[in-house]
Amino acid sequence: MSSTDPDDRPTQDLLGRTDSEQIIQALDSGKNKRARKLLRRMHPAKIAAMLEMLEAEQRLALWQQIDAAQEERILPHLNRRLSGQLLGDSADAQPARPETEQEEEKSELNHLEAIRQALSLKKLKRVGKILHRMHPAKVAGLLEALPPEERLSVWSMVETERAGKVLTYLHDEIRIALALELDLEELIASAEHLELDDRVDLIQTLPAALGAKLLYASSAGQRAQLESMLSYPEDSAGGLMNADAIQVRADVRVSTVLRYLRLLEKLPPQTDMLMVVDRKGHYQGALHLSALVTADLGRAVAELMDRNIVGIAASASDSEVDRLFKELDLLSAPVVDEHNRVIGRITLDDVADLMREDTERTLMQMAGLDDEADIFAPVMVSSRRRAVWLGINLITAFSAAWVIGLFQATLEQLVALAVLMPIVASMGGIAGSQTLTLVIRGLALGQVQKGNLRILLNRELGVSILNGVLWALVIALLAVAWFDHWGLGAVLGSAILINLLCAALAGWGIPLLLERMGIDPALAGSVILTTVTDIVGFFAFLGLASILLL
């Protein structure tokens, strides 16, 4: 109990405010973490006095921030009516029904709903209890699923020791927002519980000034490691690595290695291999722990080490790292500097996360969305972002309208053209986006390369001819049946065929062109494609109609 003993000396902050004033201010501004910290330093009797003096609403808010352990010591200082009332409130913190933990764990739905209910009743203690039982990754998921205001309330109830870990699981936008919500002191305290690679991640996403403060708050030894890790781009091997690789010399025996490891007492998490180096620290090979534990004690490390595992250059790109992990079925791998000296290691979980984010980004970008954005961002913020995308699309839409505008005279004479023209554009768009998606993914997976571009184009043109002929016939016949006009059917069918051919060509060429220009094909590809298929579609249909039908 000594650790929670109150520190009796009253503290003052820089502004000379008393503890009570600071606590009330922290509560008013939603800084619950700060309030809890201040409360833990106060004498129970003093807290009791505060509780008595506050208005009912503020009193409840204060009570919600008091630890269960502290509650017991405060209650004797309160009159019976008040203590009964507050205790009644605490009792409620335990759910009425005796739910088993497992039952609650079953679905996240329950967590989200339970927390939102507790929030609406201002039962922050209950929120804290639910959070305490959840894994940081789940807390992160929950925070992302909450609208911003409720998110801040819940965030303020996350324990400081776990806050850092929660931050690492969040998408960038929310991560920054919640990190900025913490006092610098809290942020530093929460980062202390993180592994170095997670801390690097955090520093990299924070605004530069804040990141620097976090960096300088680290111990001198850690700071050097962090600085070396920060010197590499986020998506390089150096940026992915953790500077905690254990190194052993190639010329020692198994028994010596085992003795050394026992001295260390604990290896970094996710260690499945040691890095073997020569006298000068140059990387030689990897010693799998599974080889170490099965080898005779007298054998030398050099005989046991796996030379197939090459050191990854710190400057290697994330996709190279991914390829190496995939090809060698690695769980972790050494990272070396330009002199082939071991400077860290990469574990598969970080690579897997990164590559998953890549595919996710493609998916979101194809709809003009930012994959790191908060889906509950303020309406104004989201609107501004999406307005850009709609504005770009408007150019496409007006180009199409302009093409139609060229044929107003034609449309006036044969209004059926107006009825049927969206079909041409739509079929072209769909067919084109199939080719486009195929090529974008093929480029990402390496299935599409310089050596087979021509073949792919021929195939796509072949497919579009077959499908063009098929659907041109079907659509033409439907149009003839509808408008009883053979010429119209013929024009419609021809336009469909032309547009499907152009769609294949565009779906194939646009991503290649964009990639050569250094633009991500997933981002701009579909807008450009639609522009092409709309313009070609309307032009072919209305143009042919003007020539042949009037």
* Interface with a second copy in residues 443-482 (CB under 8 A): 445-452, 455-456, 459, 462-463, 466-467, 470-471, 474-475, 478, 482
- Residue with Cβ nearer a second copy (112 or 217): 112
* Chain residues 28-47 in contact with a second copy, contact rule CB under 8 A: none
Please give the C-alpha separations between residue 84 and each of 47, 67, 91, 121, 312, in angstroms, as whole numbers. Answer: 16, 17, 10, 19, 64
Q: Which residue has the tokens 């997933």?
A: 522
CB of 320 to a second copy, least distance (A): 11
Order of strands, sheet of 312-313, starting from the edge strand that comes earlier in the sequence: 312-313, 332-336, 342-347
Are 123 and 96 spatial neighbours (Cβ–Cβ below 8 Å)? no
Distance CA 407, CA 507 (A): 27
Q: Tell me which residue of 143, 324, 136 sits closest to 240, measured CA to CA.
A: 324
- Residue with Cβ nearer a second copy (80 or 262): 262
- Residue with Cβ nearer a second copy (222 or 434): 434
- Residue with Cβ nearer a second copy (251 or 349): 349
Using the contact rule CB under 8 A, the part of the chain among 45-53, 125-133, 152-160, 441-449 near a second copy is 441-449
* Chain residues 119-178 in contact with a second copy, contact rule CB under 8 A: 135-138, 141, 144-147
CB of 339 to a second copy, least distance (A): 18
Three-state helix/strand/coil letters over 175-230: HHHHHHHCCHHHHHHHHCCCCHHHHHHHHHHCCHHHHHHHHHCCCHHHHHHHHHHH
Using the contact rule CB under 8 A, the part of the chain among 54-62, 88-96, 124-132, 358-366 near a second copy is 358-366
- Residue with Cβ nearer a second copy (390 or 548): 390
Q: Which of 360, 477, 486, 550 binds a second copy (CB under 8 A)?
A: 360
- In eight-state DSSP terms, residue 306 is B
CB of 227 to a second copy, least distance (A): 24
Q: Which of 12, 224, 398, 548 binds a second copy (CB under 8 A)?
A: 398
Distance CA 43, CA 85 (A): 21
Please give the C-alpha separations between residue 367 and each of 5, 429, 500, 527, in angstroms, as whole numbers. Answer: 56, 15, 22, 9
Number of residues that bind a second copy (CB under 8 A): 128
465: its two tokens: 């001819």
Distance CA 489, CA 480 (A): 5
* Chain residues 238-297 in contact with a second copy, contact rule CB under 8 A: 258, 261-262, 264-272, 289-296
Q: Which of 233, 281, 368, 543 binds a second copy (CB under 8 A)?
A: 368
* Chain residues 529-548 in contact with a second copy, contact rule CB under 8 A: 530, 534, 538
CB of 258 to a second copy, least distance (A): 6
* Chain residues 2-21 in contact with a second copy, contact rule CB under 8 A: none
- Residue with Cβ nearer a second copy (231 or 255): 255
Using the contact rule CB under 8 A, the part of the chain among 28-36, 50-58, 396-404, 512-520 near a second copy is 396-404
Using the contact rule CB under 8 A, the part of the chain among 28-36, 227-235, 277-285, 418-426 near a second copy is 418-426
Q: Which of 20, 362, 499, 533 binds a second copy (CB under 8 A)?
A: 362
Sign of the C-alpha dihedral computed for residues 372, 378, 382 and 384 taken in this order = negative
Q: Which residue has the tokens 């200082």?
A: 77
238: its two tokens: 């150096």
- Residue with Cβ nearer a second copy (310 or 519): 310
Q: Where are the beta strands (DSSP E) in 247-369?
A: 247-249, 273-277, 283-288, 312-313, 332-336, 342-347
Q: Which of 363, 477, 547, 550 binds a second copy (CB under 8 A)?
A: 363
389 is an interface residue for a second copy by CB under 8 A: yes
Distance CA 161, CA 473 (A): 68
- Residue with Cβ nearer a second copy (74 or 142): 142
- Residue with Cβ nearer a second copy (11 or 449): 449
Q: Which residue has the tokens 């099965």?
A: 294
- In eight-state DSSP terms, residue 343 is E
Instruction: Reduce the DSSP state of residue 407 to 3 states and report it.
Output: coil
- Residue with Cβ nearer a second copy (43 or 111): 111
Q: Which of 45, 331, 519, 549 binds a second copy (CB under 8 A)?
A: 331
67: its two tokens: 């630890």
CB of 521 to a second copy, least distance (A): 13
Strand duo 247-249 + 312-313: pairing: unpaired
